[in-house]
Amino acid sequence: MLKTRHMLTALLPLAVACGNPAEPHYTSPTEVALTVGREVRVDSLLRVSFVSVLSDSRCPLNVMCVWAGDAAVMIACAVGMGPSQPDTLHTYLDPKAAQFSGYTITLLELDPYPATDPIPQSRYVARLRIERL
């Protein structure tokens, strides 16, 4: 019994320290930068994740285009451990923001900006502003 108690006492700090590094916690209002597949928690209630880039037709750097183009990203929002709800946000077209459970999530920027080569999903970073209504 004493040996088990010492093992539990030794492991408790490890369990507390481990947490989930994939889910940083923030307080509203906040701006966050997420790579594809990452998730954040806001106000210990709202979960927001960057699912993917659905399309990216933004005019490449150093190219003259008729219009600026647009990128569409998919985010997913959930409250607590509830089911997530997908939504699409745009860099140029509407909607640039979505409302979910008393919060507004706005796509501020999508990096990197296109050059000539296609951008792999893993390199995209979405900068979002999350604020309580």
Domain boundaries, the chain: 22-132
Helical ranges in the chain per DSSP H: 2-18
pLDDT tens-digit readout, 36-91: 999 999 999 999 999 999 999 999 888 888 888 999 999 999 999 999 999 999 99
The Cα 80–Cα 131 span in angstroms is 17
pTM: 0.80
* DSSP-based three-state secondary structure for 5: helix
Identify the CATH number of the domain defined by range 22-132: 2.60.98
Over residues 117-129, mean pLDDT: 95
The Cα 102–Cα 60 span in angstroms is 36
Q: Is the peptide bond preceding residue 60 cis, with omega within 30 degrees of 0?
A: no
The Cα 130–Cα 37 span in angstroms is 17
